[in-house]
Amino acid sequence: MVGEAGSDLPTPREAGTARAKKMAVLAPLIALVYSIPRLSRWLARPYYLLSALLSAAFLLVRKVPPLCHGLPTQREDGNPCDFDWREVEILMFLSAIVMMKNRRSITVEQHIGNIFMFSKVANAILFFRLDIRMGLLYITLCIVFLMTCKPPLYMGPEYIKYFNDKTIDEELERDKRVTWIVEFFANWSNDCQSFAPIYADLSLKYNCTGLNFGKVDVGRYTDVSTRYKVSTSPLTKQLPTLILFQGGKEVMRRPQIDKKGRAVSWTFSEENVIREFNLNELYQRAKKLSKAGDSIPEEQPVAPTPTTVPDGENKKDK
């Protein structure tokens, strides 16, 4: 009897597999619960709320009565309030594309942005498949949304100085003992928006007397993009661009540009920036410079306000 009872007990390997399965289910749920406050703040903003509605537009039209009544369908049972086989194929293809794109995403904002972008593309295809008039109406709504509703800018604390087309050269030449890391960005770029909190966090950790962080909007100051050879075309994938200046001269940049003028693929994660730009060594070297009293007094970290941006510009205006 004892032997039979003992044979029903799980082996250590089976118990470990069961625990791994439980953790695989619980981990995403815990992450979702943990992110609920942040998600609620996003959904309270018009940009994310309207994006979610546009992304789910076809689902609502196809699934919610009486909206679905009278819609054409290729289902054998003729039910207009359920997906047909072709719509299921398109949605499955959308899921695969989103999963592949999100493998390189490093922030929750990038994950959400990829879902919204490809969902809108799929919605446009599905609506055109139903009726060309519905497709044209959906495209019109998306264009109006893009023109009237901009993604919210990061407004958290940072140690970053904002340049315009005149002040960037003056600041780089003012004190050549100071090392500068400058981000060239554009407000319309989703990659720049996703990188903004990462760059702000790096500035809070590493800014000191001899190591400063700056930003310049090349989408607004196009002559700066020409001077520093940063293309603002979405096809080149050069936004954002980080350039390290030492002695007023460019030392390195990411992403790198190949012989054909195209950006080499590079992930803008905090770990990559720290490693590629050797921030730990730059910070220690800059701290020694400040201890020797060879440079300007160190500033105190403050949250960005309209007074922290030169020429009376604040981040919302930009």
pTM recorded for the entire structure:
0.63
The pLDDT value recorded for residue 161 is 93
- Could you give the CA distance from residue 157 to residue 302 in angstroms, rounded to a whole number? 6
In a 13 Å sphere around the CA of 158, the CA atoms on its Cβ side amount to 23
- The dihedrals phi and psi of 247, each to the nearest 5 degrees, come to 65, 25
pLDDT classification of 1: cutoffs 50, 70, 90: very low
**What's 150's DSSP letter?**
P
- Could you give the CA distance from residue 127 to residue 314 in angstroms, rounded to a whole number? 40
The pLDDT value recorded for residue 291 is 64
The pLDDT value recorded for residue 292 is 61
Which helix (H) or strand (E) element contains residue 221?
none
- Could you give the CA distance from residue 299 to residue 159 in angstroms, rounded to a whole number? 9
Average of per-residue pLDDT values in the chain = 79
pLDDT classification of 46: cutoffs 50, 70, 90: confident
pLDDT in tens, 32-45: 565 566 555 655 67
Q: Show Cβ contacts of residue 230 under 8 Å, excluding neighbours closer than 6 positions.
A: 184, 218, 224, 238, 239, 241
Q: Among the listed ranges 104-108, 301-305, 309-313, which one has the minimum average pLDDT value?
A: 301-305
The pLDDT value recorded for residue 176 is 86
> For residue 244, what are the β-bridge partners?
181, 252
pLDDT in tens, 215-257: 999 988 989 999 999 988 877 888 999 999 999 899 999 999 8
Pairing state of beta strands 211-217 and 160-163?
Answer: parallel
DSSP-based three-state secondary structure for 302? strand
The stretch 277-298 carries a mean pLDDT of 73
pLDDT in tens, 70-112: 888 888 788 888 888 888 888 888 888 878 876 766 666 667 7
Which helix (H) or strand (E) element contains residue 185?
strand 179-185
pLDDT over threshold 80, residue 312: no
pLDDT in tens, 122-167: 999 999 998 899 999 999 999 998 888 777 777 778 889 999 988 9
Q: Are 211 and 274 in contact (CB under 8 A)?
A: no
Q: Show Cβ contacts of residue 200 under 8 Å, excluding neighbours closer than 6 positions.
A: 154, 156, 157, 158, 159, 160
The pLDDT value recorded for residue 83 is 87
Q: Are 124 and 138 in contact (CB under 8 A)?
A: yes
The pLDDT value recorded for residue 246 is 92
CA 73 to chain centre: 37
For residue 214 the two structure tokens come to 């700056």
pLDDT classification of 117: cutoffs 50, 70, 90: confident
DSSP-based three-state secondary structure for 175? coil
Task: Tell which residue, 240, 237, 283, 288, has the closest CA to residue 263.
Answer: 237
